[in-house]
Amino acid sequence: MNPAATKVSFVGAGPGDAELITVKGARLLREADVVVYAGSLVDLELVKTYAGDARIYDSAAMNLEETTSVLAQSALDGLKVVRLHTGDPSIYGAIQEQMEELDRLGIEYEVVPGVTSAFAAAATLKQELTLPEVSQTVIITRLAGRTPVPDREKLAEIARLGATLVIYLSVSMIEKVVEELLSGAYQPETPVAVVAKASWPDEQVVAGQLSDIAAKVRDAGITKQALIVVGDVLNARAEGMRAKSLLYDKGFTHGCRKGIIT
Ligand code: SAH
């Protein structure tokens, strides 16, 4: 092993907007000699903004052996190498198998988190995903596609909770999403928002209810790079909040503040 070997940095690029990468991720890109980026979802402009001088590989057309070989060889040559993933690498990022390959080869790596698209979508919607007395749970999930989903995690099962859902990778199967959710705790009136390309200049929002969202999404022509946000929290804007959080309630005492007794 070359004693000057570097470690590979897996970096979350954030949801799209080049300013939504972390300071650390941006620095690693600026310093990088080699970048392997997920070209199907990460904007090449973002890569060029920070890593204009690096050798850039688009992983969209590469297989695991090929990406591993670029990452490993670069690290062994002492080059600074970034593997750039969309959003946060830990969510549907397929990084585990890449890390396993690097482990096998004895190459070190680090992971730098990013803003996952769920949070970009919430920001676009200007919506808190956890509201008192409505839902205090957010579930990130997906429909089975070519990647299977374990039986106990079928949407219809998850839907029994009635929590806030953020559904990735499924907008092209929106009818099936609706069908499964209706067989759980959700109603035809349950609010839904579909956010496509959150934080990109051409982001798109389609809002509706389980009863009409599929048709609206089809009409809008959204088939990919979109999230489906489901749950009663989405009613807060139109209907007002059921209860406010205690955190800023003037009568509530906590570690940092004494409540006022009236
Ligand atoms: N690691 C990524 C997710 C990769 S899976 C993350 O943390 O966001 C790819 C899926 O993510 C897409 O099918 C879509 O559902 C979602 N996605 C990624 N970027 C998005 C964006 N800017 N707006 C809406 N959905 C997005």
The pLDDT, as a whole number, for residue 158 is 92
Residue 240's pLDDT is: 77
Residue ranges of the chain whose pLDDT lies below 50: none
Span 117-239: which CATH code?
3.30.950.10
136-141 contacts: CB < 8 A, separation 24 or more?
137/161, 137/163, 137/164, 138/163, 138/164, 138/165, 138/166, 139/163, 139/164, 139/165, 139/166, 140/91, 140/116, 140/166, 140/168, 141/165, 141/166, 141/167, 141/168
Q: How many angstroms separate the alpha carbon of residue 117 from the centre of ligand 1?
A: 5
Ligand 1 atom nearest the C-alpha of 195 is 24
Q: What is the predicted pLDDT for the residue at 1?
A: 61
pLDDT at 260: 76
Ordered by start, the domain boundaries in the chain are 8-112, 117-239
Atom of ligand 1 nearest to the CA of 90: 1
Domain 8-112 sits in CATH 3.40.50.300: no
Identify the residue whose tokens are 């970096």. Answer: 11
Q: How far is the CA of 148 from the centre of ligand 1 (A)?
A: 18
Dist CA 25 CA 79 (whole Å):
17
Residue among 168, 177, 229 to mutate when testing ligand 1 (max atoms within 8 A of CB): 168
User: What's the gap in Å between 5 CA and the centre of ligand 1?
Assistant: 32
Nearest atom (ligand 1) to Cα of 200: 22
User: 243 C-alpha vs ligand 1 centroid, how far in Å?
Assistant: 31
Around ligand 1, the residues with Cβ closer than 6 Å are: 15-16, 41, 85-88, 91-93, 116-117, 120-121, 168-169, 195-200, 225-227
Task: Answer whether 0.85 is exceeded by the pTM.
Answer: yes
- The rounded Å distance from CA 116 to ligand 1 centre is 7
What is the structure's pLDDT at 104?
97
pLDDT of residue 226: 98
